[in-house]
Amino acid sequence: MSPKGKSAKPYSIRSAVFATISVLGMVAHANAQSTWTVTTLHPPGAATASRLESAGPLQGGYITLGVGVQNAAVWDGTPSSMVNLHPPGSTRSLVQGGGDGQQVGRASFTSLTVPTRAMLWTGSASSMVDLHPEGWAFSEAFDAAGGQQVGVAQFSAAFVSSAVMWTGSAESFVRLDPPNGTGASQALGTDGVQQVGTWVGGFGGSSALRASLWSGTAASHVDLHPPSGLLSRATAVSRGQQVGWVQLPASEPGGDRPEVASLWTGSAASWVNLNPAGASSSRANGVFNGLQVGSAQTAMGERASLWRGTAASWVNLHTFVPSEFSSSTATDISTVNGFLIISGYGFNTANNRTEALIWTAPDPGCDTLDPAPLDASVEYESIQAIFTGGPGQPARCTTCHSPNVSAGLSFAPENSFAALVNVDSSQDPTIKRVVPFSSGASLLFRKVNCNAPGVGSRMPLGRAALSLDEQRLIRDWIDQGAVQRQRVLVNGFE
């Protein structure tokens, strides 16, 4: 999901646990000190259960008041802050995701011809917008970001469900059904630019659930399903990274077919298996700025999980949860006012109920950049100019990286592109210096954007950080595909 709000204040503390980990590195060479604070948001009163589905300055989810009775709800970091979003006349309502100040989900009404309807809120019950497409038989929404809402709708009982996208009203809905789909599709996540979900594709005489990626239209559909998978689902997206899970074949005849947390960067071939060593299964539910969250099934039970792009980077977030919790799941991740925020829930054995949880830790000092691109097309020569300097501008990178080749990397014009794009970092070979279309997965961007990039130090080393405009150019060049375009001039004109 995309960055979701940056104006909230740090949260109250129910239990603080301290760990020597790097929030972004999470690998053996990291030595940064970080503090995770876990807060239980279960509200005082009659609720028998609660859980969170979205992170940010407002955390969306729902409370349970009895068997089959749920109320959509939103919090701002404390148990007493809960606001009940339940629509009047509704028998059941849920917040299933959200971002950028919006919460989305569904509500059920026995009094209406169409009982289950996609809903949009902005922090209060009175803000409710009914997103249900006129004339359709069913709808629900799963995520929101950048003014977009995504979900699923079904025209009638005779039709399969369709992945849909809205921009704030029922009339704005767009169908995202893949042109070659043979069955149902769902849109489960958005970052305001791309959408992810699932579709049913027929292959070899059978149908399979397949992870999917869109860019706002049905025609833009990309099949993310890896060849080794049986089933797959993409659940969240953030600046070129997509996460979800893939079901793999059993390792032996009659054995279990495990579901494994998964990461993509725009194609089936980019699939990365995030399943931690020793875990029997796992799922990734949220992604932000190169970090992925979800859960892993270990010998001790279900454990909220955090990754940074590889299975080996796994961090067991359950370590920081109070001891009365026997299990936990992380559902979403964001950043708010200098803090990383992870939403989720866990089972409290002392109270015999599921309770909403948030994990918070200081964000390792990444600069906040305008989400809008600077240009429609960033030329690589603009990136090279940052490395080497220009008229009146000192060299920013080549003092150390050319003619010297620090960390095996040369920024000389004749070397830099080939040394960056899809090349493993010499400091951590599990991470690439530049991953096309994914600044969040690219170490180059982390190095110039964050005080604690997770691998080594911020660059330029010992000098002033790159300006925000320079950082945006590098980010946008990567997110536009990291290509080596050259301007061709004829008589001084392009």
Residue-wise pLDDT for 197-229, tens only, equals 999 875 444 457 999 999 999 999 999 999 999
Structure tokens of 206? 């059978």
- Whether residue 97 lies inside any domain: the answer is yes
Asked which of 362, 395, 413 is the last residue of a domain, the reply is 362
- The 10 Å CB-count burial string (b at 16+, else e) for 259-283 is bbbbbbbbebebbbbbbbeebebbb
Distance CA 243, CA 191 (A): 12
pLDDT score of 348 more than 80: yes
pLDDT score of 62 more than 80: yes
SS3 408: helix
> How big is the CA angle at 219 (ends 217 and 221), to the nearest 5 degrees?
85
- Whether residue 372 lies inside any domain: the answer is no
Asked if 345 and 420 sit in the same domain, the reply is: no
Asked if 117 and 153 sit in the same domain, the reply is: yes
Q: In which band, very low, low, confident or very high, does the pLDDT at 158 lie, cut at 50, 70 and 90?
A: low
- Whether residue 312 lies inside any domain: the answer is yes
- Average per-residue pLDDT in the chain? 85
Q: CATH number, domain at 251?
A: 2.130.10.150
Asked if 324 and 449 sit in the same domain, the reply is: no
Asked if 419 and 353 sit in the same domain, the reply is: no
Residue bearing tokens 């100040």: 101
Asked if 56 and 83 sit in the same domain, the reply is: yes
**Domain range enclosing 423:** 380-479
Asked if 116 and 184 sit in the same domain, the reply is: yes
Asked if 330 and 385 sit in the same domain, the reply is: no
Asked if 64 and 197 sit in the same domain, the reply is: yes
Contacts 24+ apart (CB under 8 A), 44-50: 44/79, 44/80, 48/353, 49/353, 49/354, 49/355, 50/345, 50/354, 50/355, 50/356
Q: How do residues 334-346 score in pLDDT, each as one tens digit?
A: 988 778 899 999 9
Asked if 50 and 121 sit in the same domain, the reply is: yes
Contact 446, 454 (CB under 8 A): yes
CA–CA distances in Å: residue 17 to residues 261, 281, 361: 26, 26, 10
pLDDT score of 28 more than 50: no
- Whether residue 485 lies inside any domain: the answer is no
CA–CA distances in Å: residue 477 to residues 381, 437, 444: 11, 8, 11
Helix-then-strand count for the chain, H and E: 5, 29
Asked if 316 and 236 sit in the same domain, the reply is: yes
- Whether residue 374 lies inside any domain: the answer is no
Q: Is the peptide bond before 403 cis (omega within 30 degrees of 0)?
A: yes
- pTM to 2 decimal places: 0.77
- Whether residue 484 lies inside any domain: the answer is no
pLDDT score of 333 more than 70: yes
Asked which of 328, 362, 396 is the last residue of a domain, the reply is 362
Count of domains observed in the chain: 2
User: Exposed (0-12), middle (13-18) or buried (19+): which is 170, by Cβ within 10 Å?
Assistant: middle
Nearest to 156 by CA among 139, 173, 176: 139
Asked if 427 and 294 sit in the same domain, the reply is: no
Percent of the chain with pLDDT over 90: 54
- Whether residue 223 lies inside any domain: the answer is yes
- Whether residue 398 lies inside any domain: the answer is yes
Asked if 272 and 140 sit in the same domain, the reply is: yes
